[in-house]
Structure formats: C-alpha cells, structure tokens
Amino acid sequence: MPELPEVETIARTLRPALVGETILTADLRWARSLASPSARKFKEQIQGQNILAVSRRAKFLNLQLSTLREPQGRPFNLFVHLRMSGDLYIKKADAVPEKHDRLRLTLSNDKLLVFNDTRKFGRVWLTDDPESVIGRLGPEPFSDEFTPQWLYDNLRRHHRQLKPLLLDQTFLAGLGNIYTDESLHRARLHPLAASDAVKLKQAERLHEAIRAVLAEGIRRNGASIDWVYRGGEFQNFFRVYDREGKPCPVCRTKIQRLVVGQRGTHVCPKCQKM
C-alpha cells in the first residue's frame, strides 16, 4: 500500500497538470470504487468543478474543488485512497480505456485523470464535508502538533505494542509497514515493546526517526517495491525492511523477520532489543 511519501510524490506529480483545470465529464467504470455519493449524484456534482489545489492528508489524495454553479454552497473535495494497488495517471483525452481503469475524468486541457486499480480496494469520495472522510485521522508527522512531548504523552496513554499503534491512522497519520519498520530501527525500539513503557528520551528518538525516514522517503520519491509502485528509489536505502537475513547497516547482525499484528516486520535483534 502506498504510504505517506508515495502519496506525497503522486500529489506533487499531479499538481502541475491539474490545478486550474475544469472537470468536464466523469466515466465511472466500476461503481464500487465510489464510496460516496451515489453514482448518479457523483456524475452530476463533479461536472464543471474547477480544481483549485492538489494536496495530501495522511494516505489520502485530496483535490480541492469549486464550481461557479453553486457560489453560495460549500466547496467539494475529491478524496482518493489508493490502498493496495490504486494509482492515478494523467493521459491524453483520447487514450483507450485499460482493463483496470475504474474512473476517468475528462479535463479542460484535453487530458484525462485516470484512477486505475487492479485489486479494486481503492476508494473515491466526493464530499462537501471533509471531516466525514478524514476527521478521525491523527496528526500529520510534519505538523506543529506532532512534537516529541506529544508523542511521549500519547504513547503513554495507550497500552499497545509499538508497531500496531504507529500503524493506527487515528493515532498518527501516514505511516505504513515500510516506514514504521524503518523508523523503529533508527530509534532502536522493538516493534513489540509496550507503548506505555517508552521513556521520554526514546520518544524523542522515535520522533526524530519518523520525520527523518519520511523526509528521506519523499526526497527519493517513495519506494518502488512492487509492480503497483513506480518511480521511487527509497527501496535501495532500506535499513531493515524486506532485508531478512542481510546485515544490519549499524551492527552487521542479520535482520530477522517477525509477524506483528499480522504484518511482516523486520528488526535487528541487537539494535532493537526488547
């Protein structure tokens, strides 16, 4: 599943081609990709929308929209969650539909915005109430709210294993399997450690590690570790993720693979002692 750096990379790639354009028509090719509203309402409401901005919240892509037809109404937001295999492409308006195209939006610049999703897990929302989609998300890792003290206090408020808690999007938004493993290794914390046992200095290390790992991931355009990812190179710089049996870059101990919360998890048994 694309995580924060991959989604941020996609948003930055799409932004120049989308901002300022108008959505002319919508071709919804698989109705269940649409979480809300109904297909009929979606096609009515999306037509004529101007794309004001392209941004990201956690793992959600957000197209902020505005239409001259309803100047007094609340503006719409188009949210896309790519999940396991979703992706967004810009194509020429006359591009032939592909097998796994789920939604095709015709734009005023003679282009298409295409949501392609092989495994059909991705979802799209069109709403004038963003809180209904993203309201329960935790803070962004690069936000002012996310401080070492906030992390320490909130880790101590839960009695959970570290990795499942960090993966919980209502706790902290944007981390997934890859960047959690990498962050915990940098912070020298075991994924099975109890969150309420973390000391302040450890929380400070974890805060620094999360930001450093995500920043490097964004700088390298995310990770390309599966056929659903494209263009990134962060996989060439993994410390532990997907490196079972290979030497830890810090101490040369062989990386081990565990299963934590039904997720494949990679640790250095020496650097990340319980």
| Predicted confidence (pLDDT) per residue in 4-21, tens digit | 999 999 999 999 999 999
Give the chain's mean pLDDT.
94
Q: How far is CA 120 from the centre of its chain?
A: 17
Say yes or no to pLDDT of 151 above 80.
yes
8 classed as catalytic = no
Q: What integer pLDDT is reported at residue 274 of this predicted model? A: 85
Q: What integer pLDDT is reported at residue 226 of this predicted model? A: 61
Mean pLDDT in residue range 266-270: 98
Angle between helices 200-219 and 4-18 (to 10 degrees): 40
Put simply, whether the predicted model's pTM sits higher than 0.85 gets the answer yes
91 classed as catalytic = no
Where along the chain do its domains lie? 4-134, 148-267
Kindly report, residue by residue over 185-218, the tens digit of the pLDDT. Answer: 999 999 999 999 999 999 999 999 999 999 999 9
Query: Residue 188: left if φ>0, alpha if ψ -120 to 50, beta else—which one?
Result: left
Rounded distance between C-alpha atoms, residue 171 and residue 20, angstroms: 34
Domain 148-267 has CATH 2.60.40.60: no
Catalytic residue among 156, 244, 263, 269: 263
Kindly report, residue by residue over 161-182, the tens digit of the pLDDT. Answer: 999 999 999 999 999 999 999 9
Q: Which amino acid does the sequence have at 272?
A: Q
Nearest to 163, CA basis, from 187, 199, 134: 187
Say yes or no to pLDDT of 55 above 90.
yes
Kindly report, residue by residue over 30-49, the tens digit of the pLDDT. Answer: 999 999 999 999 999 999 99
Beta bridge mates, 257: 266
59 classed as catalytic = yes
Q: What integer pLDDT is reported at residue 60 of this predicted model? A: 98
Catalytic residue among 56, 59, 220, 239: 59
191 upstream amide cis, omega within 30 of 0: no
When mean pLDDT is compared across 12-21, 113-122, 221-230, 234-243, the lowest value belongs to 221-230
CATH topology of domain 4-134: N-terminal domain of MutM-like DNA repair proteins (3.20.190)
Say yes or no to pLDDT of 75 above 80.
yes
2 classed as catalytic = yes
Kindly report, residue by residue over 179-194, the tens digit of the pLDDT. Answer: 999 999 999 999 999 9
Token representation of residue 206: 């974890």
**Do 212 and 186 form a contact (C-beta atoms < 8 A)?**
yes
**Do 89 and 100 form a contact (C-beta atoms < 8 A)?**
no
Q: What integer pLDDT is reported at residue 90 of this predicted model? A: 97
